[in-house]
Structure 1
């Protein structure tokens, strides 16, 4: 092989890497652009939001839009309601998914395969199908128009059980048997041995569950029945829709959306390493 051929062969992989890096950068920029535009627009003056061609970077950043949002809706109360709903529901999903996933992965009992198949089948049901039965159940329990009515039906999740079962199945049986021989209880084995082994999956499930229930709209709106004091931030922001008809209020709407997206975004920043590890781990297992 000549020197020029060897040089060309060395350049090809680097050229492919550069092309791949460029493509990934373009995708990242395209994905982050709406979020960046939302935040920047919330800092613009009303005149800048209406200017044509658009102003990309606010010349005189201002928090006036955020002050107006606080005057239209009870931001603190709504954020607190959303935090309670998302946090408690996520904690419940983690606990029930870990316990059920452990049972499906490491226990043999009659009807296990059938029960797991039925569980998987429920994942394909559109949420609108279960809306009326769940609402009637919440009403019969006396939980209507309360945060508990939103939380209780969502404390178990079929996808969470499926995810935990798949990861827990990869934990060595010998490790669990050794813990049993040492006298450890099943709960101790689950939370001291199994849980650390599937930490990336737990973090990924926590992120999925928190973001989903933080952004949930239809179910809380159905349960709360006009109880504005219990509205989460997503429903409270709907009061800003009337302000969206005028371009002068664009900053107000963007400020409200920015406030709503901050907690899930902060959570993702803290859990992104575990989230990536879970994806890599599932790919390796696959």
Structure 2
């Protein structure tokens, strides 16, 4: 009984921390069900009375919501595909292949993670503008097919934890490097690939600055830009904005709950702490 009590006490701080991180989400749902006069009432009301579920219907009618969702699904699916194809292959080259200057090139790749987007924003816009790619989804997804520095680092750390004996045995038997990668290394990195896909999905789905810079026509906007339409000259329609935001984050919540085991396993196997 004492051991059970001690084990239970360990979960109390975790539950409190989890509740702390849930507060913004609970407030989001609460605000999405309030009327305008209840949003700024004092003291704040966590449970709206009455709950105004019509806010969700009005949010769909206020903007072309489904159109923005479909646009976001296009860019997100392509971004995930690009990272899943490029990051494992590049990470394998840095983690398991020996070639001159490998570590120096890897440090250069990692160094790009320290450059803020504001530094590369204007040069990238100028480049894509000269190529005629403004108002297309190419600038949003092409960099993912060329490799993202963080995902390359993640996959490289994962490969370094794999024993070399499996691959050396295949090479001795005459297998090509591509065969070794596809048949041995790739199946063993499933948790890490799911981690890359999950992070890539979240980053692309919530990206605001990229679509803001490269997409000029409202018919091509993603959901992040679409939500900005609830802000006008006279203020912000908070109830509809919260309702639309609650629906927008629903796919990420569902995805995380289904893939959280792979996410934890991939993060631990890659050697990334925290």
TM-score by length of 1: 0.85
Q: Work out which of the residue numbers 132, 135, 144 in structure 1 matches 2:122.
A: 132
| Structure of larger gyration radius | 1
The answer as to whether partners of 1:243 and 1:253 remain within 8 angstroms in 2 is no
Structure 2 counterparts to residues 36-185 of structure 1, below 5 A:
36-46=26-36, 48-49=38-39, 51-155=41-145, 156-181=147-172, 184-185=175-176
2:220 equivalent to 1:230: yes
The answer as to whether partners of 1:38 and 1:258 remain within 8 angstroms in 2 is yes
Shift of 1:36: 1.8
Which structure shows the bigger proportion of residues in helix conformation? 1
Shift of 1:19: 3.7
Distance 1:260 1:103 in 2: 37
Shift of 1:29: 0.5
Task: Specify the alignment match of 2:254 in structure 1.
Answer: 266
The answer as to whether partners of 1:39 and 1:258 remain within 8 angstroms in 2 is yes
Distance 1:245 1:30 in 2: 29
Shift of 1:149: 2.4
Task: Specify the alignment match of 1:217 in structure 2.
Answer: 208
Residue 47 of structure 2: SS of its match in structure 1? coil
The answer as to whether partners of 2:155 and 2:270 remain within 8 angstroms in 1 is no
Distance 2:178 2:88 in 1: 10
Unpaired runs of 5+ in structure 2? none
Cα distance, 1:260–1:196 mapped onto 2, change above 3 Å: same
Cα distance, 1:144–1:204 mapped onto 2, change above 3 Å: same
Shift of 1:190: 2.4
Distance 2:47 2:180 in 1: 54
Unpaired runs of 5+ in structure 1? 1-9
TM-score by length of 2: 0.89
2:181 equivalent to 1:193: no
Shift of 1:282: 4.3
| More divergent stretch after superposition (90-99 vs 48-57) | 48-57
